[in-house]
Amino acid sequence: MRSRRFCAGPAKDELFGPFSFQGGFPGNRRLSVDLSIIIVNWNTRDLLANCLASLEAACPGLSFEILVVDNASSDGSAEMIAEAANDLPTCRLMESGGNLGFTRANNLALEQTSGDFILLLNPDTVCPPGSLTRLVEFASIKSSLGAVGPLLVDEQGLPTITYGYFPSAHFHWLGFLDPLRLLPGRWFQNRVVHIPARTETSDRVDYVLGACFLMPRSALESVGKLDEQFFMYFEETDWCHRARRRGLDIWYCAEVEITHLEGRSAEKAGRFTTRQFQKSYRLFIGKHYGPGQIPGFRLAQAAEYGLKALFRLVAPGDRRRNLALARTYRERFRLQFQGQIQAVPPDLTSDVENRRG
């Protein structure tokens, strides 16, 4: 792995006083900052450029560093960062040398952070002016904080998936019995993922989405890094589950909004994302609930996604969208009947095929 620093901004100690050391590799003494921002990139050059361009204005009054881990992109992402170096604050490009996945790449960067707070940020996000400063301020006043996430909105400013509830098989049976979510009451409406209403206020939740995931350094040191068994998906859910078991709170912050172009980065990986999601889901269930619970979850998902696939084939409205959703649900349905799910990262697919040939 290669690491290149393009430009240096003021560290917190240069702004606020004497030298202090936090984080980094053993023996690697570095000046601390208020906020360390980690972005894992794989072939999202244009999205990443927009994300990076938003960060300086998002952090007024904070000293911060940006660590971009590039998972062997082939779209010129690394070159883009080099070209944009003059416009970036403290920024370091870490070239991983391969597609390590979201979790392992984040862990590589976590070892080199120096911030009092650490933010895991997707490249398909845009942070409005002042947003990250307000998020850090919110986190600073919460005792026993594990992690906090903002309201995530789409390009039109509409709320999108922001937080969720730890998996339960009854969520999928509700999806089977009430696919349109017509039954009233929170018990019927809760699912693994949740889109907040504008009327919802900040509150403790089970987990917040990893697209914008802020942790105090003290929580990271208590809970530990992300579990690298999860190549991607459910790594933040697993971390929050571990944090909750240690008595730490996970907060949804309704007062801060971040734009999340949901799925833009994942869609470049095609069918791999569907398979990896299901693989990580089973891993989470087996780790936290026991392997014996996995068959029940598979049955519940088969019921939910089988019905939803049929529903989309006959649903009125946008025919192209309904057919695309039907194909997605059908793929999820089929995966419930596979004992072991193989999910080969996209940049390794050609190598696997060559070996098979």
28, pLDDT greater than 50: no
Per-residue confidence (pLDDT) for residue 270, from 0 to 100 = 62
> Residue 17 — very low, low, confident or very high, per pLDDT cuts 50/70/90?
very low
31, pLDDT greater than 80: no
Per-residue confidence (pLDDT) for residue 81, from 0 to 100 = 80
Above pLDDT 90, what percent of the chain?
Answer: 66
**Homologous superfamily of 2-160+195-267:** Spore Coat Polysaccharide Biosynthesis Protein SpsA; Chain A (3.90.550.10)
1, pLDDT greater than 80: no
Least confident span in 23-27, 57-61, 218-222 = 23-27
Per-residue confidence (pLDDT) for residue 263, from 0 to 100 = 63
Least confident span in 143-147, 160-164, 261-265, 300-304 = 261-265
Per-residue confidence (pLDDT) for residue 268, from 0 to 100 = 54
Above pLDDT 70, what percent of the chain?
Answer: 85
> Residue 8 — very low, low, confident or very high, per pLDDT cuts 50/70/90?
very low
Per-residue confidence (pLDDT) for residue 86, from 0 to 100 = 67
* pLDDT tens string 198-209: 999 999 999 999
Per-residue confidence (pLDDT) for residue 92, from 0 to 100 = 86
Q: Which helix (H) or strand (E) holds 254?
A: strand 249-260
* 8 Å CB contact between 58 and 150: no
Distance CA 66, CA 91 (A): 5
Give the DSSP letter string of 203-238: EE-SEE-TTEEEEEHHHHHHH-S--TT-SSSSHHHH
Give 53 or 14, the one with higher predicted confidence. Answer: 53
> Residue 23 — very low, low, confident or very high, per pLDDT cuts 50/70/90?
very low
- Round the average pLDDT of the chain to a whole number and report it: 85
> Residue 184 — very low, low, confident or very high, per pLDDT cuts 50/70/90?
confident
* pLDDT tens string 232-250: 899 999 999 999 999 999 9
In this prediction, residues 66-72 reach a mean pLDDT of 91
Per-residue confidence (pLDDT) for residue 349, from 0 to 100 = 43
Place of tokens 């696997």: 352
278, pLDDT greater than 90: yes
Per-residue confidence (pLDDT) for residue 16, from 0 to 100 = 29
Per-residue confidence (pLDDT) for residue 267, from 0 to 100 = 54
List the one residue out of 45, 17, 42 whose CA is nearest residue 31.
Answer: 17
24, pLDDT greater than 70: no
Classify residue 298 as exposed, middle or buried by CB count within 10 Å of its CB (0-12, 13-18, 19+): buried
> Residue 307 — very low, low, confident or very high, per pLDDT cuts 50/70/90?
very high
* 8 Å CB contact between 118 and 109: no
Distance CA 228, CA 251 (A): 24
Per-residue confidence (pLDDT) for residue 179, from 0 to 100 = 75
C-alpha dist (Å) from residue 109 to 93, 115, 339:
10, 12, 34
Give 89 or 211, the one with higher predicted confidence. Answer: 211
5, pLDDT greater than 70: no
227, pLDDT greater than 90: yes
82, pLDDT greater than 80: no
264, pLDDT greater than 70: no
Q: Which helix (H) or strand (E) holds 288?
A: helix 272-288
